[in-house]
Structure 1
Amino acid sequence: MHRFGVVAFLLFYLGASDGFAGGDAKAGAAVFKKCAACHTATEPAHRVGPTLMGVVGRPAGSLANYDYSDAMKAFGAEGKVWDEATLSEYLLSPKAMVRGTKMSFPGLKKPAEIADVIAYLRDPSAAR
């Protein structure tokens, strides 16, 4: 029930599919600084977390040269793909969506920040 409530809230707040098309990549680049200690978005190098370069549309837990947690591997084995809806739910509360993930980040609480980060991840060059 909790997952349904989170998704329903995001769809309502972001305006369903039209909201996912929104977001400001430039603002997302600023918000991404919260993620940059562990992730990159513009280069294929891993840090503590995997590179997020090209993450939008990528199957979860699928980079061959990164050691994902068992929880993330199982999540990916379920066929999950990092589309805008999945990213929106995950970025709100990573540990609630993928119990047992290694990611310690508590999540972004503002739907606008989530939409902005997704816009940035979709096209980092748009932030220039």
Structure 2
Amino acid sequence: MKHFLPFTAAFLCLTTSALAEGDAIAGKAVFRKCMPCHSTEPVNKVGPTLSGIIGRPVASIADYNYSRAMTAFAEGGKQWNEGLIAEYLMAPKAMVPGTRMTFAGLKKIEDIANLIAYLKNPAQE
């Protein structure tokens, strides 16, 4: 992850206000890209549940079998905060080489901000 540090700082500077202002309703539409593998219900699918992901320790769902890469990435007590999720959603395989997540990533900062807003409150309509 060391190679991401300069990128992360620049990304967060550019997106801090965008992340704070994400639209949960628009994020629900973005989440359709995630639905084949993830749920916002407390149920695992091919991927782990995303219910309560904001603030949750990385690779911490007890009944989900994470890849070795994701388990290693979690070392040191990383938590899924908005910045880390935003960075991961841009390029999952670049951030966690060896992850089983096959999704290439979201390219639009607005989509990432909206998805994060939705994940923070998936019940919002």
**TM-score, shorter chain, exceeding 0.5:** yes
Identify the residue that residue 6 of structure 1 maps to in structure 2: 7
Equivalences for residues 16-95 of structure 1 within 5 A: 16=16, 18-41=17-40, 43-95=41-93
TM-fit CA distance, 1:61: 0.2
AA aligned opposite 1:87: I
Secondary structure in structure 1 of the residue aligned to 2:117 = helix
1:109 aligns with 2:94: no
Q: Aligned letter for 1:28? A: G
Q: How many Å apart are 1:2 and its aligned residue?
A: 4.1
TM-score (norm 2): 0.92
- 5+ residue gaps, structure 1: none
How many angstroms apart in 2 are the aligned matches of 1:13 and 1:107?
Answer: 18
Q: What is the rounded CA distance, in whole Å, between the counterparts of 1:76 and 1:5 in structure 2?
A: 20
Identity of aligned residues (%): 51
Give the Cα–Cα distance (whole angstroms) in 2 for the partners of residues 27 and 97 of structure 1: 25
How far 1:20 moved relative to its partner?
2.7
- Contact in 2 for aligned 1:54/1:121 (Cα 8 Å): yes
Q: Give the one of 119, 122, 125 matched to 2:120.
A: 122
**Normalising to structure 1: TM-score of the pair?**
0.90
- Give the RMSD, CA atoms, in angstroms: 1.3
Matched, 1:98 2:96: yes
